[in-house]
Amino acid sequence: MIGVDLGGTKLLVGAVDSELAVHHRAHRFSRGVDQAELLDIVVDAVTEVRQALDTDVAAVGFGIPCLVDRERGVAVMAVNLPIADLPFRDVMSERLGLPVVIDNDANVAVLVEQRYGAARGARHVVMLTLGTGIGGGLVVDGEVYRGSTGAGAELGHMVVEMDGPKCQGSCPNHGCLEAVASGMALAREALRVAEAEPESGLGEALAGGREITGALVTELAHDGDRSARDVLALIGTRLGVGIANYVNIFNPEVVVIGGGVIAAGDLLLDPARATVAQRALRPSRDLVRIVPARFGAESGMLGAAVLAFEELAADHTA
Amino acid sequence: MIGVDLGGTKLLVGAVDSELAVHHRAHRFSRGVDQAELLDIVVDAVTEVRQALDTDVAAVGFGIPCLVDRERGVAVMAVNLPIADLPFRDVMSERLGLPVVIDNDANVAVLVEQRYGAARGARHVVMLTLGTGIGGGLVVDGEVYRGSTGAGAELGHMVVEMDGPKCQGSCPNHGCLEAVASGMALAREALRVAEAEPESGLGEALAGGREITGALVTELAHDGDRSARDVLALIGTRLGVGIANYVNIFNPEVVVIGGGVIAAGDLLLDPARATVAQRALRPSRDLVRIVPARFGAESGMLGAAVLAFEELAADHTA
């Protein structure tokens, strides 16, 4: 099976077997190209992977960071990709001569975590991916939850501070979890500390000309810097408020935290867990596990392949 | 079929046919009795309804305001009823000589709204019941959502104001939707206005010796009093923040608002709808309907009967 993580900046194509081993990978850039170029790039990368294999490919799965109409196989509202309203599934299937399945990238990420990763065996899973923003994926009774029109599980856009800061990008809301606990919020809080406390580790990094990013905060925190650890604890505590909400709403067995920010590990998760223990309701709070994702940058590609496996199996059964 | 709404203050028993018509009702008080007395009261009320019917009863459904372990048929953590950890389903089935099914009262309320009421025909439904607190019910892909251990859908206990007021009762959290938008919050805000503005309608009511309750606010608001309408608009706006969160999380077709506070009607719902239009994400916010519940005080009894119909049908199929 071939999985494709079709991002707005780059795409990753992988040949994945039923044990989730990756046999060949192809990388391409996708930023700034038009629709015809993008389709050519995808076909080229998939063809490279097919040719590297000595077995036939049954289908190709795509994870795409946008709202997907699964009935029609169309990527709706694709902000960073020139494929909006294109019948992507059918066009790609014709170009490749293979069955094609498509879904939102967060949906396929939670799918692979629930089938093979940190939430394996759990029937009810909440996943939050902390990057620039906060993405969300839900598994309900063993199946990915998409909502009535596929727009569900926007888990980063839950208000936890009614009169809080304006949320990011096209979100019109204020005080969303994304606005206060994402990678952007982490960098913003770190910059605030760096400016207010020039003698802190963050302050010295700023004075030394370094850009204050989430990755830098994590690096300094792992080196033992107090100011960086405090900022991670602040973000982790806010994250915990959001997780406590989802624990009360879903009573899940597992909450999986992925995305780049999870590089901070327990420096982020321990304050989050402590907050859930203080704020969420019994018995849900005592039962839930809050764990880092198993699959990082490859979760979209792997999840897209898992989706393709499952949909092909379902078609054969039907 | 017989449905029983087993509340901490009173119980309502009804004989309900497959068209949801109620043929006989029995009322009893349940406050302050011990376990043996409660079971006797239930048996007596169900027997009264059975004897009033000229047809056989197939089963009895119970809606109970507590955490229910449906596998074992046990009411866990029943705060206001002396039946915690009793194998209620089996004991009651033996006493009545009939099949018995039990579930949480909010779960059966959303069930009857989705099958026969304000959310008829919808596959994805969020229900909030605004009384003293805020209860919640969820329908996901046509089925009631209960979470991994039956403790899910605590929809009133979602924080919308991280550093907000302490929540009610045994909830350890701060700034839950229940803490800022329930009937208790409505009465609290109205009292604040009544004390601060003695010349307002609320102020005059307080000076006249009336107790400032949610029902009084609604009465004054329907009579056109500005201060009462403003308080309802404040609560409706906060409610809208919570509904917007659920719209982003679930992408539901319908959000149903029930409970005593919905007597305020559009004086509460219009500000909530306006807030959802401002805060929630497209396309979910444009698709969702926000409507009052169809069934009020009888939703628990009716929903318990619907549950009994469905479980009996499932048993016959299996």
A107 at B interface, C-beta within 8 A: no
Q: Tell me the chain B residues in contact with residue A250 when contact means C-beta distances shorter than 8 Å.
A: 147, 152
| Residue of A143, A245, A253, A287 to mutate when probing chain B, most B C-beta within 10 A | A245
DSSP H or E run through B10: strand B10-16
A267 at B interface, C-beta within 8 A: no
User: Is residue A272 a contact partner of residue A265, using CB atoms and an 8 Å limit?
Assistant: no
Contact assignment for B148 to A278 by CB distance below 8 Å: no
The interface predicted TM-score (ipTM) is 0.92
Contact assignment for A162 to B160 by CB distance below 8 Å: yes
Nearest to A249 among B154, B252, B282 (CB): B154
- CA proximity to A164, closest of A152, A186, A180: A180
Q: Tell me the chain B residues in contact with residue A239 when contact means C-beta distances shorter than 8 Å.
A: none
Task: Give the CA distances from residue A283 to residues A205, A246, B111, B144, in Å, rounded to whole numbers and listed in that order.
Answer: 44, 14, 23, 19
**How would you write the pLDDT of chain B (318 residues) with one tens digit per residue?**
999 999 878 899 999 999 999 999 999 998 889 999 999 999 999 999 999 998 899 999 999 988 888 888 888 876 678 888 889 999 999 999 999 999 998 899 999 999 999 999 999 999 999 988 898 999 999 999 999 988 889 999 999 999 999 998 889 999 999 999 999 999 999 999 999 999 999 999 999 999 999 999 999 999 999 999 999 999 999 999 999 999 999 999 999 999 989 999 999 999 999 999 999 998 999 999 999 999 988 999 999 999 999 998 887 665
Q: Say if A2-108+297-317 and A122-292 have the same CATH topology.
A: yes
Q: What is the pLDDT of residues A264-273, one digit of tens each?
A: 999 999 999 9
Q: Where are the alpha helices (DSSP H) in B169-210?
A: 177-181, 183-196, 201-207
Has domain B121-292 been given CATH number 3.30.450.40?
no
pLDDT mean values, one per 10 residues, chain A (318 residues) = 90 94 94 92 96 92 88 80 89 96 93 97 96 92 92 94 92 96 96 97 97 96 98 98 98 95 96 98 95 92 96 75
What's the CATH code, domain A122-292? Answer: 3.30.420.40
Contact assignment for A278 to B172 by CB distance below 8 Å: yes
Length of chain B: 318
A318 at B interface, C-beta within 8 A: no
Q: What is the pLDDT of residues B231-268, one digit of tens each?
A: 999 999 999 999 999 999 999 999 999 998 999 999 99
B162 at A interface, C-beta within 8 A: yes
What's the CATH code, domain B2-108+297-317? Answer: 3.30.420.40
pTM, rounded to two decimals: 0.92
| CA–CA gap between residue A264 and residue A217 (Å, rounded) | 9
B201 at A interface, C-beta within 8 A: no
What stretches of A17-124 adopt beta strand conformation (E)?
A: 22-29, 60-64, 67-69, 74-76, 100-104
Q: Report the Cα–Cα distance between both ends of chain B, in Å, rounded.
A: 20
Sketch the domain layout of chain B as residue ranges: 2-108+297-317, 121-292
User: Is residue A225 a contact partner of residue A270, using CB atoms and an 8 Å limit?
Assistant: no
Chain A's closest residue to B248, CA to CA, is A154
Nearest to B123 among A76, A148, A279 (CB): A148
Contact assignment for A173 to B249 by CB distance below 8 Å: no
Chain A's closest residue to B284, CA to CA, is A151
